[in-house]
Amino acid sequence: MQQHKKIHWPKVMAPKAAVCPHIRTIHDDTVQDDYYWMIDYFKKGDRSQEVIEYLEKENAYTNSMLEDTADLQEKLFYELKSRIKEKDESVPYYKNGYYYYSRTEEGNQYFKFCRKKGTLEAEEELLLDIDRLADGHAYYTAKGFSVSPDNRLLAFSVDTVSRREYTIYIKNLETGEIYPDQIKNTEGAAIWGNDNLTLFYTAKNPVTLLSEKIMRHVLGSDPAADVLVYEEKDNTNYIAVGKSKNGKYIIINSEGTLSSEIWLLDADFPQTEFRVFQPRMQDVLYSVIALEDRFLILTNDEAINFRIMQCPLDQTERSNWQTFMAHRPDVLVSDIEEFKDFLAIAERKNGLTQLAIYNLSSQQQHYLDFGEVAYTVYPAINVEYNSQKLRYGYTSLVTPSSVYEYDMADQQKVLLKQQEVLGGYDQTAYVTERLFATARDGVQVPISIVYKKGTKLDGTAPLLQYAYGSYGASMDPTFSSNRLSLLDRGFIYALTHIRGGEEMGRQWYEDGKMMRKMNTFYDFVDCGKYLIERHYCTSEHLYAQGGSAGGLLMGVVANIAPEQYHGIIAQVPFVDVVNTMLDDTIPLTTNEYDEWGNPNESEAYFYMKAYSPYENIEAKEYPNLLVTTGLHDSQVQYFEPAKWVAKLRATKTGDTVLLLKTDMDYGHGGASGRFDYLKEIALEYAFLFKLEGIIPDHAQQ
């Protein structure tokens, strides 16, 4: 299957970033930052061109160091692309008399958004041709498709820069006309009032990119005259506007890490005032589900893993909340999908997702059974309120993404579609396992593993360990056709469910944030150590990967356990924690205070300084590192990984490689097309294969 050879790196001079000392003094602590000047491009200052030139030099260096993998990268790209069904169609969903779906065509990067009236045999209406609209753009994302209640108008939003600043457009579906109402600098979603004339949307601060205002737009009017209907004064909260599934309410949600607040408006009267559902309460999160005769409230009020309450439609204050479903300390209630006669309740127990079906009439409940040791299940697109059929998605490390339709009354399921892997895929050729590693404080941390049958579990196989571990985001086991290129070359893949996510309940998240953030990093290292002890790999063959906040994880791991990993891939990594969190002009900084802490407070400052990757670089040997970023990234600014690499290059010892790849056209999410992002995956895989000395044989080429 494969051969191994000694690793050869070209003798190329690495770029050397200019040193320009910048002094930071806070809490009687003085720090010199030699690369602070790299923020200049974002600030549009005098050294902007110097920043670009430095990033381009790093790109050229990376290309030179990986020049002998160029053919491999190209072969990997086509290998990854060859598994994707280019001509495909999503599972149609029914809403208000129409079936909606998207379809892709062979050779095209994007898609068509379409509908059919009444039946799937009806003539297709092409609502938006994203392939045509994206022509000529290096980056193009269209989202937020929202059809008016009378089915005549379509609101949609577009970002052509990759900074998540969306312009909302409105199209007349009968005439094809794009109206002149262009609403700029929004979050993207546009919500229709029931008068078919009024739109609500979230406006962003053009500097910090924070979502601060909910605006009301009347069709045909000048967007500059749009009316402010809600303004968020707490800059640690995110805000959004939506609509209840039954179509009766426009809902504003303001939510931070610790508290939330809901405002409601009768969708039939969009010009009236919003009313607060329940004023925000300290350390209480809640969300609202509108039924015919009452509201349900999903809340952590006196229930760390959330419980479901209920109240009358006209008496929504907390004093009127009554228990609908009691709190269970071993079950996290994460979501509710409402229907006229049923509820589908998404839960987590023992680190696994599950779906409970509740009959509102009989008050009986049952669970769906899935039969795998590690899997992911979730409600899919369910936009029709008057239905007894639930769409849900199912996948595992070996099961391709599948969409099922489940009749909640008859308790029968039908597979509507399963991801097709071109070239043939034999699920039985792969093995998935679920393990529990003991962390240094005694906590059991789940690990989901997949590998190809026949892979030796004697320590000689390479293993890629992945995790995220922040914001309560759970990294559930899912299928990836791209991952087959690793598994088929002998790699083991280990998804570690570390603290900071919510896999094991809300407390799992609480124990991996703020002043307990070190648990996240220690869990990852301890899981890697466990995999070595169990002979899945050795440190010479152990690799780590993570992105964004998971990139922070990679940076810390490189500092605290460099000897345990042969190579690390840090994607758009959040590695300059202190400087970023001290700069409230940087997008999203203030929203993050409840996640990381506010460094303007002494205790938080010194805690995050003690783990921030940029602050803790030492003169020692680091693992081989591939770092990726995007010039237009609005989530983790390009200068964080650029500064980190520059300081690492000037400080570290040994001859391990350090590579920085900046995408000069894209942002946090990478390329927007169906296939362009595969080039970055091919680069990452080539980096791993080179470190392993793997040469693809003729069959794999």
Catalytic residue positions? 548, 633, 668
622: left (phi over 0), alpha (psi -120 to 50) or beta: beta
* Distance of alpha carbon 500 from alpha carbon 638, whole angstroms: 24
Task: Scan for tokens 């737009």, then name that residue.
Answer: 217
Q: What is the DSSP-derived secondary structure letter of residue 401?
A: P
Instruction: Report yes or no: 25 and 579 within 8 Å, Cβ to Cβ.
Output: no
Residue 441: exposure state from Cβ atoms within 10 A (0-12, 13-18, ≥19): exposed
Q: What is the sign of the dihedral through the CA atoms of 613, 614, 619 and 620?
A: positive
Length of the chain: 701
* Distance of alpha carbon 296 from alpha carbon 436, whole angstroms: 36
Which residues, including other chains, have CB under 8 Å from residue 512's CB and lie 6 or more apart?
A: 469, 470, 498, 499, 500, 501, 519, 520, 523
- The tokens describing 8, both together, are 């050869």
- The tokens describing 140, both together, are 């193009």
- The tokens describing 306, both together, are 């959330």
Instruction: Report yes or no: 262 and 278 within 8 Å, Cβ to Cβ.
Output: yes
* Distance of alpha carbon 681 from alpha carbon 661, whole angstroms: 12
Burial letters for 77-109: b for 16+ Cβ neighbours within 10 Å, e otherwise? bebbbebbeeebebebbbeeebbbbbebeeebb
CA 172 to chain centre: 32
Which amino acid is residue 355, in one-letter code?
L
Strand intervals (E) in 232-294:
238-243, 249-255, 260-266, 275-278, 286-290
Helices (H), 465-622: 484-487, 506-510, 518-533, 549-560, 577-582, 593-596, 602-611
Give the closest residue to 691 by CA, choosing from 457, 456, 451, 462: 462
Instruction: Report yes or no: 256 and 247 within 8 Å, Cβ to Cβ.
Output: no
Instruction: Report yes or no: 154 and 145 within 8 Å, Cβ to Cβ.
Output: yes
- The tokens describing 679, both together, are 């080039």
DSSP bridge partners of 290: 295
Start-to-end CA span in the chain (Å)? 11
3-state secondary structure of 257: coil
Q: What is the DSSP-derived secondary structure letter of residue 698?
A: T
* Distance of alpha carbon 447 from alpha carbon 371, whole angstroms: 18
For 136, other C-beta atoms within 10 Å of its C-beta total 7
Strands 2-4, 211-218: pairing kind: unpaired
3-state secondary structure of 159: strand
